[in-house]
Amino acid sequence: MIVDVVETGATMKQNGLEVVQDIMTSSTYLIANKNSYIAKKDEVLDIYEKINRVIKAEND
């Protein structure tokens, strides 16, 4: 058996593999401590907006 992180499973299917069982669900978070956020607010918000655009594009 192989344990792999997959989003859609398309690559697995292309290689003749199939999901037998989900063993874990994960989430991603953008985290900045207070001082870093204050010092680099523009950069943090820029990354946040880029992530949101990608998520929105994938959901459309």
The pLDDT assigned to 39 comes to 96
What domain count does the chain have?
Answer: 1
Residue 21 is part of which domain span? 10-59
In a domain, 32, yes or no: yes
Q: Give the number of C-alpha atoms closer than 13 A to the C-alpha of residue 21, restricted to the C-beta side.
A: 2
The pLDDT assigned to 48 comes to 93
In a domain, 38, yes or no: yes
In a domain, 5, yes or no: no
Contact assessment for residue 19 and residue 1, using Cβ atoms and an 8 Å cutoff: no
5-52: pLDDT as tens digits: 888 888 888 999 888 888 988 888 889 899 999 999 999 999 999 999
In a domain, 3, yes or no: no
User: How far apart (Å, rounded) are the C-alpha atoms in residues 39 and 53?
Assistant: 24
In a domain, 24, yes or no: yes
Q: Whole-prediction pTM value?
A: 0.56
